[in-house]
Amino acid sequence: MPDVLPHPDGPDSTARPWCSVVIPVLHEAVTIAAQVAHVRHVAARCGMEVEVVVADGAKERDTLAALPEGCCTAVASCPGRARQMNAGAGKARGETLLFLHADTHLPPEAFTLLRRARQAGIRAGAFRLGIAATGLWFRLVERLACWRNRLVRTPYGDQAQFFDAALFRAVGGYPDQPLMEDVEVMRRLRKAGERIVILPGRVETSARRWFVEGPLRCTLRNLCLRLLYALGVPAHALSRWYRAHKERP
């Protein structure tokens, strides 16, 4: 694992925030200011303050350049979602780490639910999946995600995964692989006997990838990837297939 995971405390560890929200980004200059404002709004609604960390994997650093000055901690990272999230975690000071995709919105009560869970001793989990689009197909995808979470307890990254910071660092952070890093970290925690909890609040994740690729094609592709990974196909092999599949007309 990269050397970004050691504890980032400075001389005054008492100033640590209780939660750090880590947002990995790639060419999200148009929306990043609104996403940071959304996190701040949800935290204020819950009567709390949180740290926001944005980890940019683009060599142009265009998303970091679009951030309002002083709004968050900006991190320049190597590309790759796992590497970016680990780089962000390496700079985060919170006792709890919440990883939020740039196109996913938190539920209004997110930090209240998260704090209650942490006070109850829950050290890892995510929220329920919601898709920001109308239509029965998307409701079916949400229901299938709910059933999968109940069965295998390996929520995806677009459900805003959270971890006790010490636990996250002890397990080595996200594995350095191009796909399924979100599934793999949860699978490792489950094998270690860690309880994975799905909080009742529902995120709203963008449906843009479903609209770009087609709802049926995108859903079936994701199911195939997950099945093949569960059968032992390496993430790097799946990544090559994934890229080829996306490039097809």
Runs of H (alpha helix) within 157-234 = 165-170, 181-191, 208-213, 215-230
Contact indicator for 29, 61 with CB cutoff of 8 Å = no
Reading the block at residue 152, the tokens are 């295998």
pLDDT at 223: 86
Tell me whether residue 142 is in a domain. yes
Tell me whether residue 239 is in a domain. yes
d(CA 53, CA 206): 20
Contact indicator for 90, 161 with CB cutoff of 8 Å = no
The pLDDT-based confidence of 2 (bands split at 50, 70, 90) is: very low
- Across residues 225-229, what is the average pLDDT? 88
Cβ contacts of 62 within 8 Å, gap of 6 or more: 27, 29, 56
- Across residues 176-181, what is the average pLDDT? 94
Tell me whether residue 164 is in a domain. yes
- pLDDT value at 123 more than 90: yes
Contact indicator for 247, 212 with CB cutoff of 8 Å = no
Tell me whether residue 10 is in a domain. no
Tell me whether residue 28 is in a domain. yes
Average pLDDT, the chain: 90
- Residues of the domain holding 176: 15-247
Closest listed residue to residue 72, CA positions, set 144, 142, 21: 21
Tell me whether residue 88 is in a domain. yes
CATH number for position 52: 3.90.550.10
Tell me whether residue 1 is in a domain. no
d(CA 209, CA 114): 28
pLDDT at 8: 54
Q: First-to-last CA distance in the chain?
A: 36
Question: How many residues would you count in the chain?
Answer: 249
Look at the chain and report how many structural domains it folds into: 1
Tell me whether residue 3 is in a domain. no
